[in-house]
Amino acid sequence: MPAELIDGVAIARQIRDEVACDVQRLAQRGIVPGLTVVLVGDDPASAVYVRSKGKATDEAGMHSVTIRLPADTMQATLLAQVDALNADPLVHGILVQMPLPKQIDADAIVRRIRPDKDVDGFHPVNVGKNLIGERDGFVPCTPAGVQELLVRSGVETRGAECVVVGRSNIVGKPMMALMLQNAAGANATVTVCHSATRDLAAHTRRADILIVAAGRPRMVTGEMIRPGAVVIDVGINRVADASARSGYRLVGDVDFESAREVASLITPVPGGVGPMTIALLLRNTVRAAERLA
């Protein structure tokens, strides 16, 4: 029997509705959560992401501002912009869209954002809090979204073999920290695989929960998956497709057709993890507003 699909659009909608309720509750106290997104340059993919973040923020009843800076912006200018947002009481969440142009040191920018406004969860203070299981920081939106998908789909994580493919600072590493905690929706035995892993399939075949965030189209195939496993595909890759009007289509890091014959539950691409990232960004922003109020 083919795997059941995890509907990321529906689960993200649930979270966005919850966030909208929280926003109404805060409005009674005269607080409007504010998210400012900074976009440097004109990378078309980033422009699409930033537009959808702004739209979702507005829809939730929050205050949304997008600051667009030219591609040749100097590091000092961007640092000064971050300083201004850090000091602005109407701004609860700050997100500087990555990647940044090469004249800018992205690490220096991330370190300049106040940790209590860092709704991306990229600041070392928040990275550390996530690792030690302290709940008063911010967890990066994509791994937090993956954990929500598991919890809201009723997946038992306690004692599960959880294999993460990919060790990025944005997904793989924070995902590992989240699933490892002695907490609800976690408490798994976690293995992290990466480009130097010997015999990747030997690891992935042991997984009850397989989370793939490697950035390589369709690299995990059905034969690498344990029958009955839960498969979460974080990848979003453009591949050429002559039959599509745009000339391309989106595929994940998992070969969906073969994987769904083996897995019990699987996320589609698109419509799986993608919509969750924005939902969790909104939730982080509401939390920032609650804590800063």
As annotated, the active-site residues are 53, 97, 120
Considering only residues 131 through 150, tell me which ones interact with ligand GUN, judged by CB under 6 A: 141
Options 12-20, 93-101, 174-182, 208-216: segment touching ligand GUN (CB under 6 A): 93-101
- Binder among 96, 220, 259, 286 for ligand GUN (CB under 6 A): 96
The answer for residues whose C-beta is within 8 angstroms of residue 236's C-beta and 6 or more apart is 250, 252, 269, 270, 274
Q: How many CA atoms lie within 13 A of 37 on its CB side?
A: 26
For ligand GUN, the binding residues in 218-257 under the rule CB under 6 A are: none
* Shortest distance in whole angstroms from residue 100 CB to ligand GUN: 9
Single out the segment in contact with ligand GUN by CB under 6 A; choices: 5-13, 91-99, 156-164, 233-241. Answer: 91-99
* 193 bridge partner residues: 165
Total binding residues toward ligand GUN, as defined by CB under 6 A: 6
Which residue's CB comes closest to ligand GUN? 98
- Does position 120 interact with ligand GUN (CB under 6 A)? The reply is yes
Contact status: 47 vs ligand GUN (CB under 6 A): no
Task: Select the residue interacting with ligand GUN from 15, 23, 78, 95 (CB under 6 A).
Answer: 95
**Among 6-14, 57-65, 92-100, 227-235, which window interacts with ligand GUN (CB under 6 A)?**
92-100
38: which residues sit within 8 A by CB, 6+ positions away?
66, 67, 69, 78, 81, 82, 85, 94, 95, 96, 97
Measured from the CB atom, the residue of 146 and 207 that comes closer to ligand GUN is 146
Give CA–CA dist 3/228, Å, rounded: 8
Pick 26 or 119: Cβ nearer ligand GUN: 119
From candidates 98, 180, 183, 200, binder to ligand GUN by CB under 6 A = 98
Measured from the CB atom, the residue of 126 and 204 that comes closer to ligand GUN is 126
Q: Does 190 bind ligand GUN (CB under 6 A)?
A: no
Nearer to ligand GUN, 188 or 282 (CB): 282
CB of 106 to ligand GUN, least distance (A): 9
Q: Are 209 and 245 in contact (CB under 8 A)?
A: no
Nearer to ligand GUN, 96 or 263 (CB): 96
Q: Tokens in use for 161?
A: 């073999």
In angstroms, what is the minimal distance from the CB of 240 to ligand GUN?
A: 22
List Cβ neighbours of 80 (8 Å cut-off, separation of 6 or more): none
Stretch that binds ligand GUN, among 59-67, 90-98, 173-181, 259-267 (CB under 6 A): 90-98
Using a 10 angstrom Cβ sphere, with 0-12 exposed, 13-18 middle and 19 or more buried, the burial of residue 222 is middle
Give contact residues for ligand GUN (rule: CB under 6 A).
Answer: 95-98, 120, 141
